[in-house]
Amino acid sequence: MPRSLLRDWLLLGPGLTWLALFLVVPCGMLLVFAFFERGVYGGIDYIFTLENFSRAIDPLYLSIFLTSAKVAGLAAVIALLIGYPAAYAIARAPARRQTAYLVLVMLPFWSNYLIRTYAWIVLLNREGLVNKGLAGLGLVSEPLPLLYNEFAIVTGLVYNYLPFVVLAIYSSISRLNPEVLEASEDLGASAPRTFWRVTLPLTLPGVAAGAVFVFVLSIGNFITPDLLGGGRLQMVGNVIYDQFLTARDWPFGATLSFILIGIMMILLFSQAMLVRKAQGEGGIAHA
Amino acid sequence: MSERPTVIAIEGLTKRFGEITAVDAVDLDLRENEFFALLGPSGCGKTTLLRMIAGFTGPDAGRILLDGRDMTPVRPNRRPVNLMFQSYALFPHMTVTQNIAYGLEMEGCGRDEIRRRVGEMLEMTELSPLKDRKPEHLSGGQRQRVALARALVKRPRVLLLDEPLGALDKKLREQMQLELKRMQHEVGITFVIVTHDQEEALVMADRIAVLKDGRVMQVGAPRELYEYPASRFVAGFIGKMNFFAGQGRGAEVAFGDGVLTGTAPGGVELAGPAVAAVRPERLRLAPQRPEGSLNAVPGRIVDIAYHGQDLNVHVEVRGAVDSAGGEAGARVLVRLPAGEAEEGDWQAGQDVWCCWAPAHTRVLAM
């Protein structure tokens, strides 16, 4: 084996071993479980069947997948709409202030995910700060139904994943050659036209990365739908959770998981292709 | 050349960045259909000046008039000038054709007109075979031509070029100097080029403004600047120059035991430390002090280098100052045409007299 190859494998070794043991093996087990029958008292009966898959495409479960996709998509779009301007502002700020802004963006991660989600319950419930504030301002007479619905779930998901979107887009924008934007203006483009024709196309890899990130993390999320949705809106993550822990139907839970992983893989792959294409084209902008 | 009408008049233009005055009360006239060079060492404010004409940097004082109209409140996208960026700043996600068409689309030109004018530009810059390529698949020279075509297709009143040849290798640079000059001639648009390379400015420009510390030191045709520099800085910055430092009196400099005679710019009477400046190719060598009115200084040959068409003789002269400006005892460069001087005429270590005509001597304040 050539020396450099040996070195590469040595360096990759720990990471690969970790991934193999704790990602590839469990995923492989999931795939295997998906083709067997459930045991009468939980667990697996090793009898081959395709019934789990035919059950998964039942309209009931399809509609849960669609709802999950809708909620995740909505969260991704809203996160982009909020995150892009923020990322733009940070990337265009004086260099010494950028780090401070980025730290502020990451600040929520210093507290626990569950605690942050409970905080939203405090904010959004009928007697919560938001409703009290609105009532105090005389804007509403009745408390608004802000909690235990789709609005609350989307709000929670956007809140949680927004920092990733900001970071992904920030890195795209900060790599833009400012002279390319000036060239657009010099050639007669107004600021909005420069944005649509130059800035946005060149930062699309960051936008795609952010969007896929939010979507993938949201569609499989079960804590936020559970806590902020109050269990009224079933997302696929909740169903899988229930199959494993309540219904004790491991094979069916495995099947749903596997379909979910498949959707995520397709999205991540498409995004990787987009990035590769854009990087190929971005040679000058990044030089 | 002076009869050409003015396109851009720059009046008392000043720009400060904190403590530094990048552009200091600059007055300049840029004329119709001329190739104008802003020449100076890095940090002299030439790029800032260019960006102010393009509209990317606002002045702290003074103004820029284009065809008599004050440009100060006009945004860059509304100015009839275009800038070719030093990095070329091509749109990496667009093909060559799309890059060139962009400016016309922004003007709202019709599809047929865009196609025709982009076609003309591709033709002129010989980019037709590459028209569907993206910038990453172009060489440096090709990118430079796309950047040029993209700016020129707009038919600006003035084309601004920021170090347009800086990123190219030497051979390509020399070729592009002539090509840029040819294109300027062909399109009849005023070109304003920023460069730190005095040779480049001499080759290309009709007129040159030499800048230093944000100020215009001198404006003139290349020959004018070369033959009649108005200051010590310009004399040393453009071409090779030998300086002899001494006490100035009128148009004379006391040097060593004698006096060097020349002409002072604008007939200014000098009093105080001064230099007599003379080009290497104006100097001749003699074994003895020559008779008559020639300027002459004694020295000793330290080195002879054969350069093909000429012979470069380095002579150590006590009290001379080299063009970098500095210590006494520096070397004087004498450039003899190879046809005139036979090999073996002069040897290292030989005592000689450097002599030259007063007509070729500039007397300048220190």
**Same domain as B251, residue B156:** no
pLDDT at position B323: 54
> Which of B227, B248, B279 is the last residue before a domain boundary?
B227
Distances (CA, A) of B352 to A143, B288, B348, B355: 104, 7, 10, 10
Chain B residues with CB under 8 Å of a chain A CB are 54, 56, 75-78, 82-83, 85-93, 102-103, 106-107, 134-136, 143, 150-151, 154
How far B110 CA sits from the closest chain A CA (Å)?
15
Tokens 């210590």 -> residue: B327
| CATH number for the domain harbouring residue B139 | 3.40.50.300
pLDDT at position A203: 93
**Same domain as B135, residue B32:** yes
Displacement of CA A280 from its chain's centroid (Å): 26
How far A78 CA sits from the closest chain B CA (Å)?
26
- Which residues, in sequence order, are CB contacts of B75 under 8 Å at separation 6+? A185, B55
| CATH number for the domain harbouring residue B244 | 2.40.50.140
Residue B234 falls inside a structural domain: no
Residue B294: helix, strand or coil by DSSP? coil
Classify residue A229 as exposed, middle or buried by CB count within 10 Å of its CB (0-12, 13-18, 19+): buried
- Confidence category of residue A43, pLDDT binned at 50, 70, 90: confident
Residues of chain B with C-beta less than 8 angstroms from the C-beta of A182: 56, 76, 83, 85, 89
Nearest to A282 among B54, B92, B102 (CB): B92
Return the ∠ at Cα B100 (arms to B97 and B102), rounded to 5°.
105
Cα(first)–Cα(last) distance of chain A, in Å?
35
User: Would you call B93 and A278 a contact, using CB atoms and an 8 Å cutoff?
Assistant: yes
**Same domain as B80, residue B45:** yes
Nearest to A188 among B77, B92, B135 (CB): B77
User: Going by DSSP bridges, is the β-strand pair B69-70/A44-48 parallel, antiparallel, or unpaired?
Assistant: unpaired
- Class for the domain spanning A53-286: mainly alpha
What's the whole-number mean pLDDT along residues A240-245?
90
**Same domain as B105, residue B204:** yes
**Same domain as B118, residue B27:** yes
Residue B160 falls inside a structural domain: yes
User: Would you call B154 and A188 a contact, using CB atoms and an 8 Å cutoff?
Assistant: yes
Nearest residue to A82 via CA among A203, A210, A174: A210
**Same domain as B143, residue B67:** yes
Low-confidence winner among A151-160, A217-226, B165-174, B326-335 (lowest mean pLDDT): B326-335
**Same domain as B175, residue B116:** yes
Classify residue B213 as exposed, middle or buried by CB count within 10 Å of its CB (0-12, 13-18, 19+): middle
Nearest residue to A168 via CA among A212, A201, A199, A198: A212
User: Going by DSSP bridges, is the β-strand pair B190-195/B158-162 parallel, antiparallel, or unpaired?
Assistant: parallel
Q: Which pLDDT tens digits describe chain B residue by residue (366 residues)?
A: 456 899 999 999 999 999 999 999 999 999 999 999 999 998 899 999 999 999 999 999 999 999 999 999 999 999 999 999 999 999 999 999 999 999 999 999 999 999 999 999 999 999 999 999 999 999 999 999 999 999 999 999 999 999 999 878 888 888 889 999 999 999 999 999 999 999 999 999 999 999 999 999 999 999 999 999 999 999 989 988 999 988 888 888 888 888 899 888 876 667 788 889 999 999 999 988 888 888 999 999 998 888 888 889 999 888 777 655 555 557 899 998 887 766 677 888 899 999 999 999 999 987
Q: Higher confidence at residue B214 or residue A127?
A: B214
Spatial distance between the Cα atoms of B75 and B243, rounded to a whole number of angstroms:
47
pLDDT at position A276: 79
Residue B91 falls inside a structural domain: yes
- The ipTM is 0.85
Tokens 């002076």 -> residue: B2
Residue B173 falls inside a structural domain: yes
pLDDT at position B32: 95
Residue B232 falls inside a structural domain: no
Spatial distance between the Cα atoms of A56 and B324, rounded to a whole number of angstroms:
83
**Same domain as B182, residue B106:** yes
Residue B102 CB neighbour total at 10 angstroms: 26
**Among positive and negative, which fits the CA dihedral B46, B47, B48, B50?**
positive
Spatial distance between the Cα atoms of B225 and B238, rounded to a whole number of angstroms:
8
**Same domain as B259, residue B212:** no
Instruction: Please provide the DSSP assignment of A47-60 as one string.
Output: EE-SHHHHHHTSHH
Displacement of CA A250 from its chain's centroid (Å): 25
Residue B235 falls inside a structural domain: no
Return the ∠ at Cα B76 (arms to B74 and B78), rounded to 5°.
60
* Parent domain of B286: 240-365
Nearest to B92 among A189, A197, A281 (CB): A281
Residue B134 falls inside a structural domain: yes
A165-190: pLDDT as tens digits: 999 999 999 999 999 999 999 999 99
Closest chain B residue to A286, measured at CA:
B92
**Same domain as B223, residue B245:** no
Closest chain B residue to A185, measured at CA:
B77
Residues of chain A with C-beta less than 8 angstroms from the C-beta of B82: 186-187
> Which of B189, B204, B227 is the last residue before a domain boundary?
B227
Q: Where are the domains of chain A?
A: 53-286
User: Would you call A190 and B77 a contact, using CB atoms and an 8 Å cutoff?
Assistant: yes
Classify residue A20 as exposed, middle or buried by CB count within 10 Å of its CB (0-12, 13-18, 19+): exposed
Structural domains of chain B, count: 2
